């Protein structure tokens, strides 16, 4: 269940940060608003004896807060979703370069910052969804979505959302800015309606016949497959999933990554890094997979059955920090192309 409120720190905490030896607390700023994540933090407390003090908020809000708090910030770790937001944190200078042989061995190069300023902890594939009852559409690549034959058929969020700016940046890296802008123009021309809502309303609109193709992240649909409600399961069974760009020699499907980084001004960097290492462990990775229907970032942990039922796929190996840093430029290109 989503948690929309921000848990505020006591005012005294902002003025003087107590020593770890005194309060045995790790301060975590997170834009992941999921109750299921709390079980992860409880597990870390049981293993280490350190309490997690959780501050929840919007990613940009948390980044700005850490900047404004400066050297006095209580934050030890920042967790947020998507390469674009992680790149913003890097650009803001609030994350510390770190080195961990354990994380380097567990997490693929594409899912961590080259300087260790953040490490991926979970993944979501950005896929194409369709109504199975109408047959599988002739879509094998993201590039196919711009074809005139899909005029009036595509459903997607606004261009400004990081999920889409990250996808667009990956297309720019693969095909060049000029070709990517033409692709974005094709998407804008093929929309079934003006971009609106989150990912879930896109495939719900496919089921309702508003359009035939939705661009959405896998975990949104997988939640319906794990639901106890008959209507949710019926929707899950109705919607098919296409992992784009899977042919031999093609780049693979774009993934959104949740990542965690040690805050540069933390006075407890060693334990902060150990917390991130804990998040990459098998038990924590299973909790990400089973609690929120995300793909693990480590190879030896299986996804939830509702997610695994979509099939296996090969992910784009483009480094998330690289495409995330291009997000502002990608947004400009998308809006210039008419994708609002």
- What pLDDT was estimated at residue 39? 87
Of 194, 220, 198, 210, nearest in space to 294 by CA: 220
Dist CA 172 CA 179 (whole Å): 8
Under 8 Å between Cβ of 121 and 258: yes
Neighbours of 103 (CB within 10 A): 21
Dist CA 114 CA 178 (whole Å): 28
Residue 16: pLDDT over 70: no
pLDDT in tens, 234-261: 999 999 999 999 999 999 999 999 999 9
- What pLDDT was estimated at residue 13? 32
Intra-chain end-to-end CA distance of the chain, in Å: 29
Mean pLDDT of 175-188: 98
**DSSP codes joined into one string, 251-305:** --B-EEEEEEEEBTT-S-HHHHHHHHHHHTSHHHHHHHHHHH--B-SSTTSPPPH
182: tokens are 């033409």
64: tokens are 């700005």
pLDDT above 70 as % of the chain: 93
pLDDT in tens, 296-336: 999 899 999 999 999 999 999 999 999 999 999 999 999 99
- Lowest-pLDDT choice from 5-19, 88-102, 149-163, 252-266: 5-19
Higher pLDDT, 1 or 46: 46
- Lowest-pLDDT choice from 12-16, 210-214, 285-289, 291-295: 12-16
Domains of the chain listed by start with CATH number? 11-123+256-309 (3.40.190.10), 124-253+321-336 (3.40.190.10)
- What pLDDT was estimated at residue 23? 55
Residue 12: pLDDT over 70: no
Residue 7: pLDDT over 70: no
**DSSP codes joined into one string, 144-192:** GGGSGGGTT-EE---TTSHHHHHHHHHHHHHH-HHHHHHHHHHHHHTBS
Give, as one character, the DSSP assignment of residue 240: E
Cα dihedral 211, 213, 214, 219 in deg (nearest 10): 130
pLDDT in tens, 121-178: 999 999 999 999 999 999 999 999 999 999 999 999 999 999 999 999 999 999 999 9
């Amino acid at each position: 269940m989503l948690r929309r409120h921000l848990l505020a720190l006591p005012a005294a905490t902002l003025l003087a940060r107590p020593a770890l030896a005194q309060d045995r607390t790790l301060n975590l700023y997170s834009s992941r608003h999921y109750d299921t994540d709390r079980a992860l933090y409880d597990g870390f407390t049981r293993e280490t004896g350190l309490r997690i003090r959780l501050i929840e908020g919007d990613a940009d809000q948390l980044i700005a807060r850490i900047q404004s708090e400066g050297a006095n910030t209580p934050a030890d770790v920042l967790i947020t979703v998507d390469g674009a937001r992680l790149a913003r944190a890097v650009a803001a200078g609030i994350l510390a370069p770190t080195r961990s042989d354990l994380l380097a061995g567990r997490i693929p190069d594409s899912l961590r910052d080259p300087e260790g300023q953040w490490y991926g902890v979970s993944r979501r594939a950005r896929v194409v969804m369709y109504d199975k009852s109408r047959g599988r559409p002739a879509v094998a690549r993201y590039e196919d979505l711009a074809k005139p034959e899909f005029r009036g058929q595509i459903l997607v969020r606004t261009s400004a959302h990081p999920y889409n700016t990250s996808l667009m940046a990956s297309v720019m890296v693969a095909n060049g800015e000029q070709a990517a802008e033409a692709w974005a123009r094709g998407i804008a021309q093929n929309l079934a309606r003006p971009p609106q809502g989150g990912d879930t309303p896109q495939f719900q609109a496919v089921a309702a016949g508003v359009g035939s193709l939705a661009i959405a992240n896998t975990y949104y649909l997988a939640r319906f497959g794990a639901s106890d409600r008959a209507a949710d399961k019926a929707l899950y069974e109705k919607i098919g999933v296409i992992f784009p760009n899977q042919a031999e020699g093609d780049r693979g499907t774009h993934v959104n990554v949740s990542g965690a980084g040690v805050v540069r001004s933390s006075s407890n960097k060693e334990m902060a890094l150990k917390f991130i290492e804990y998040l990459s462990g098998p038990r924590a990775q299973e909790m990400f997979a089973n609690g929120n229907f995300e793909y693990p970032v480590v190879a030896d942990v299986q996804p939830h059955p509702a997610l695994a039922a979509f099939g296996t796929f090969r992910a784009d190996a483009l480094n998330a920090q690289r495409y995330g840093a291009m997000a502002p430029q990608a947004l400009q290109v998308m809006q210039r192309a008419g994708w609002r």
